[in-house]
Amino acid sequence: MSFDELDDSAAGDAGRADLAPSPPQVRGYLSALADAYGLPRNLVQAVARTASGFDANKISAQPQETFGDSAREFDPENKSYGLMQVSDAHIGQTVRDPNGEPFRIGQNVKYDWKANARAGVALLAQQHQLAQLEQPYASPREHAQQASLDYLAGHTLSHSATLPAAAETSTTSANPAERDPLLDYAPSGQRQPQPIPMPQPRTDSAPAETMPYQPMERPQPSYPARPLRFGRKPSLGDIFAMPEFSRQPRQPSLGDILLLQNASQQAQPTALLAAQASSTPPSGSQRKADDAGQTASPAPPAQAQQPVLQRPAQNSPKPLRSVSPPKSAVEQQSGVPQKPASQAPSTPVDMQRSAQAQRGHDTALRQILIDVQNNALQNPAFAPNRAAGTTYCNAATLKVARQMGAPTKGVLTDGKGNLVNANTQARNLGNSSAYREVTPTEAQALANQGELSIVAWENKTGGSGHVATVRPEGVSGDNPPKGSSGPLLSNIGNTIGVLGQNYAFRKDMEVHYYTPR
């Protein structure tokens, strides 16, 4: 659905940009946007309520995040506007409409409440998508929780990861229980994070019992448990006191299916899935090990837990097969292993379904990587400080890595989670067991699949080094300089943009590429 159609159909007589829309107009429009993006209506409504109290004319000062210290000074230049409190920092960012088409957040978010709602919900949808990818085992409630927290606390991707590391880890802990600010609100039975069973690694050649992918059902619109009166000072508790956020049986996600396949084949999961798997269980010791830069822990022993996804007993178990998507030229050259290959497919339907799921997963991962990189490229916090002569390639790379679920502690940060300089990052990447070195061709192939690859140069003469992330090829809007060669880089430093390795690095610079194991 396009925005124009949405404006025509959803808001009724609110077809124009009223300065003071009525509450039904606002609610109707937000609900229509939520439906268009596939977001829970209550999530959008509650975020708008929390952000602005549904005040379309609200303007507030935004904290300006700074590097080097944990202080957040209020910058009168950076304000937030309207219903969804879209900030100055978001203006100019590219987000996606419900059809997936990119659009740029414009100045009109300051005075057009619908434009403000569109931009805010698009940013919220981005957070929600990321939450689903980062936490495949989490419930819809937890996805909504993470998305709303990232939106409200950090005000979208461009801010959340620029917070000082300590603050960030405290707000985006891998343990959902630690992230939940609603413990005081939730019933006691829901306070403890429920352990999520991991799939059993298969030790024999028998196919895993799986069920085909089913899209997650959108929660039906429901009324909040506590009546939310328009204008009442909202709280985060309102968001999750709603029935649709209560824990309920979960439908399988793409991540579930792929992980089951991986487990059944004893294959190494992709880096991101491994990171997700390692971050999902609430085991403190396991999380510490992961944070310390260790290789993602394997799934718990098969005997300990039951598989998450099982076919109903009345159905004859049929394995879900995976088929590698068509290889691109660079993939064929590089020999980068495709996503876990399969045993012989049982039925064409299973095969087709699995292939579709695989392609969908790759496409989603790639788009996430692109969006995360775009936000870093457009983030003013990473622009060079010309007066001080400082650049922020290290902070930008850390942000992208974190957003992609890659291990960062002890690699891109020190052991306490504090940002380290590019030289240290480059050195750590070479010594880390959480990363492996890959060739430039492999790095490009991985990026094309949506996997994180980092290029690093350690300046051994004592000057500044440089790090960057590898950019997928063929991204619409990218326009690297003529003559670019080597992997494409999302380069943030003294210059910012997408360019080839030969522009980002001189010939005399010895660069290395790494990807999470």
Partner 1 sequence: MLLKNLARLLLVLTANAALCASQNHAYDGAWWQATGRDQHLGWLAGYIVCTSEPAKKAFTGFSEYTLEPKVTDFYSSRPNAINLKVSAVVLKLIRARAVTPQNQAGGEHAGFDGEYWRQVPRERVGIVEGFLACHQEFEIEKGSFSKPASRYAAQISRWYGVDPNDPAVINLRRVSVPIEKVLLRFKDRPHGPGD
Query: Which of 282, 440 has the CB closer to partner 1?
Result: 440
Indicate whether 487 belongs to the interface with partner 1 (CB under 8 A): no
Residue 51: alpha-carbon gap to chain centroid: 21
Among 249, 389, 462, 477, binds partner 1 (CB under 8 A): 389
DSSP 288-312: HHHHTTPPPPPPPPTTTS--S----
CB of residue 82 to partner 1, shortest distance in Å:
16
DSSP 21-54: --HHHHHHHHHHHHHHHT--HHHHHHHHHHHHTT
Among 39, 376, 445, 499, binds partner 1 (CB under 8 A): 499
Indicate whether 462 belongs to the interface with partner 1 (CB under 8 A): no
Query: Which of 92, 474 has the CB closer to partner 1?
Result: 92
Site for partner 1 in 85-104 (CB under 8 A): 91-92
- CB neighbourhood size of 147 (10 A): 24
Query: Which of 227, 463 has the CB closer to partner 1?
Result: 463
CB 193 within 8 A of CB 175: yes
Query: Which of 206, 509 has the CB closer to partner 1?
Result: 509
CB of residue 13 to partner 1, shortest distance in Å:
28
Indicate whether 441 belongs to the interface with partner 1 (CB under 8 A): no
Query: Which of 229, 506 has the CB closer to partner 1?
Result: 506
Among 77, 194, 206, 418, binds partner 1 (CB under 8 A): 77
Query: Which of 111, 185 has the CB closer to partner 1?
Result: 111
Query: Which of 233, 482 has the CB closer to partner 1?
Result: 482
Tokens 């219903």 belong to 83
Indicate whether 457 belongs to the interface with partner 1 (CB under 8 A): no
Spatial distance between the Cα atoms of 310 and 424, rounded to a whole number of angstroms = 46
114 burial via Cβ count (<10 Å: 0-12, 13-18, 19+): buried
117 in helix, strand or coil?
Answer: helix
- CB neighbourhood size of 329 (10 A): 8
Tokens 């996997």 belong to 451
Spatial distance between the Cα atoms of 376 and 392, rounded to a whole number of angstroms = 11
Indicate whether 24 belongs to the interface with partner 1 (CB under 8 A): no
Sequence-ordered list of residues with C-beta below 8 angstroms from that of 247, at least 6 positions apart, any chain: 139, 141, 190, 194
The size of the interface with partner 1 (CB under 8 A), counted in residues, is 31
To the nearest 10°, report the CA torsion of 259, 261, 265, 271.
Answer: -40
Indicate whether 507 belongs to the interface with partner 1 (CB under 8 A): yes
Indicate whether 20 belongs to the interface with partner 1 (CB under 8 A): no
Indicate whether 482 belongs to the interface with partner 1 (CB under 8 A): yes
Indicate whether 483 belongs to the interface with partner 1 (CB under 8 A): yes
512 in helix, strand or coil?
Answer: strand
Q: Which residues bind partner 1 (CB under 8 A)?
A: 77, 91-92, 107, 380, 383-391, 481-484, 491, 494-496, 499-500, 502-508
